[in-house]
Homo-oligomer: A and B are copies of this chain.
């Protein structure tokens, strides 16, 4: 039997938000190489597999990318069914493209199983539609990890022309808020910061763009979620969420 690699998106964290194909790939897997943000509830669906964490948390890889490639290729060549399990979607800031190129170059059969990206699932689970008739007809998704990547995109965006979603933006939220305010975005633009979307610890802070970078937010984040992945949503669509409050800094639980 020939080996095979599935690059599987685990979605935002809730096992019920896996795709049917992802569940099947996990059930059939001999080996699962997983990112550290994937919860145990999802890993345990790979009941007959060996499971290894290959790290990756807030941009820090515990295992080098080339090592991940080598592990996948070696196991597949030994006839194993390998699942490379990634938080969210493999092709949205997931380095899935690099892994596909490595598998293709090695001649290893592979497939990509898309997953729900936190860029959309985190706002959705917090009740925020990224588009809404008469409010926003477009959205832009950037990573907060590297200013040289988000600045050119946000620099040319007229205030309010699109909903802005920032992944991995917890640390750069003050810089992003200042950048948008300098470019004419209203101080009162509604913002949501969704932490731990799809997990039982999910929390959403809502407030204004002006408040996004302020110290007050730190207290909310400090309560056990400072290490959770955060999704920032900037735009008037935020005010459509049932939990959106007129007062600054309201934090709501959305644990499932």
Contacts and interface: CB of A to CB of B under 8 A. Distances in A.
Interface of A: 11, 14-21, 23-24, 89-98, 100-101, 104, 112, 114-117, 120-121, 123-125, 127-133, 135, 137-143, 146, 149-150, 152-153, 155-158, 161-162, 237, 240, 242
B142 A120 contact: no
B89 A112 contact: no
A42 to B, nearest CB: 11
A129 B91 contact: yes
A55 B234 CA distance: 32
Contact of A114 (B98, B120, B150, B240): B120
A96 B130 CA distance: 10
Contacts of A21: 14, 16-17
Given A18-B19, A96-B129, A114 B121 contact: yes
B16 A130 contact: no
A157 B153 contact: yes
Contact of A112 (B15, B127, B152, B237): B127
Nearest to A19: B17
9 contacts: A17-B20, A94-B131, A97-B131, A98-B133, A114-B125, A138-B140, A140-B141, A156-B158, A156-B161
Contact of A131 (B91, B138, B155, B237): B91
A90 B92 CA distance: 19
A161 B147 CA distance: 12
Given A15-B20, A93-B131, A95-B133, 13 more contacts: A17-B19, A17-B114, A19-B20, A20-B20, A91-B128, A92-B129, A96-B129, A97-B129, A100-B127, A104-B242, A112-B124, A137-B142, A153-B161
